[in-house]
């Protein structure tokens, strides 16, 4: 695949790299580094650093923005904002998949669209920005590309953020009210390095006769978050069924 010019990515980021090698490394998957004849470094160490920078910036920003929130509320909101699925939206807006350097196997299996791979690339890119431009530039990247768009989407009247709902509890309540059995959750996938795994969970919704009615899946950086995403999709499907 022909890659987009890195100048385009720098323009989208609003940062021109003094060390272009850092940007190249952030976009280099381990599969490319293994297969390449050149001495290419992959982005796994940058992912590790980027995750830490993201947690720090998100924590500081939420602490300053929402002084009335309790620790649990801040943690819940931060977990949503740094969730792998949310990072994928950021990657898609930046067209990050078009810049990645992948090995032949990853290329053939659609690596440019894989949730875990794109989320990791966002974190690696953040680390590269941090190392090249410092914390001020990295914070601007996090705010403009990761935090602000989602905080705006979640904001209600008066600027109050509507915290992410407990979709699992809501799904259980609705199923019980409609005479259906409790939903069943199972893990069907686990990918990524140890420090940044992505889990895929499936929720199975049964009809009143205890037979499978439908199933939905969700992927995130923890089993709990993936289960919540799967439950959220199940709630949407139930709503569609009720309106059919």
Point out the residues that are catalytic: 51, 123
Question: What tokens were used for 78?
Answer: 């931060």
Task: Say if CB 27 and CB 101 are below 8 A apart.
Answer: yes
Q: Half-sphere exposure of residue 76, counting CA atoms within 13 Å on the CB side?
A: 13
CA angle, 196 then 202 then 204, to 5°: 165
Task: Say if CB 97 and CB 113 are below 8 A apart.
Answer: yes
DSSP 37: S
């Amino acid at each position: 695949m022909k890659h987009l010019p890195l100048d385009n990515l720098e323009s989208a980021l609003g940062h021109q790299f003094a060390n272009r090698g850092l940007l190249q490394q952030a976009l280099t998957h381990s599969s490319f580094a293994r297969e390449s004849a050149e001495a290419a470094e992959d982005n796994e160490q940058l992912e590790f650093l980027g995750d830490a920078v993201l947690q720090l910036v998100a924590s500081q920003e939420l602490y300053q923005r929402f002084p009335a929130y309790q620790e649990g509320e801040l943690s819940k909101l931060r977990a949503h904002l740094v969730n792998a699925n949310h990072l994928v939206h950021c990657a898609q807006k930046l067209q990050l998949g078009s810049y990645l350097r992948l090995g032949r196997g990853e290329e053939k299996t659609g690596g440019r669209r894989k949730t875990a791979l794109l989320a990791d690339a966002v974190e690696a890119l953040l680390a590269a920005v941090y190392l090249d431009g410092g914390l001020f530039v990295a914070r601007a990247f996090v705010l403009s590309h990761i935090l602000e768009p989602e905080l705006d989407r979640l904001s209600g009247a008066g600027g109050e953020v509507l915290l992410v709902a407990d979709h699992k509890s809501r799904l259980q309540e609705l199923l019980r009210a409609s005479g259906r059995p409790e939903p069943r959750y199972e893990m069907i996938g686990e990918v990524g390095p140890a420090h940044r795994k992505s889990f895929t969970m499936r929720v199975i919704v049964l009809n009143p006769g205890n037979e499978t009615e439908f199933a939905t899946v969700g992927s995130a950086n923890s089993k709990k978050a993936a289960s919540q995403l799967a439950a959220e999709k199940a709630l949407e499907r139930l709503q569609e069924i009720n309106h059919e």
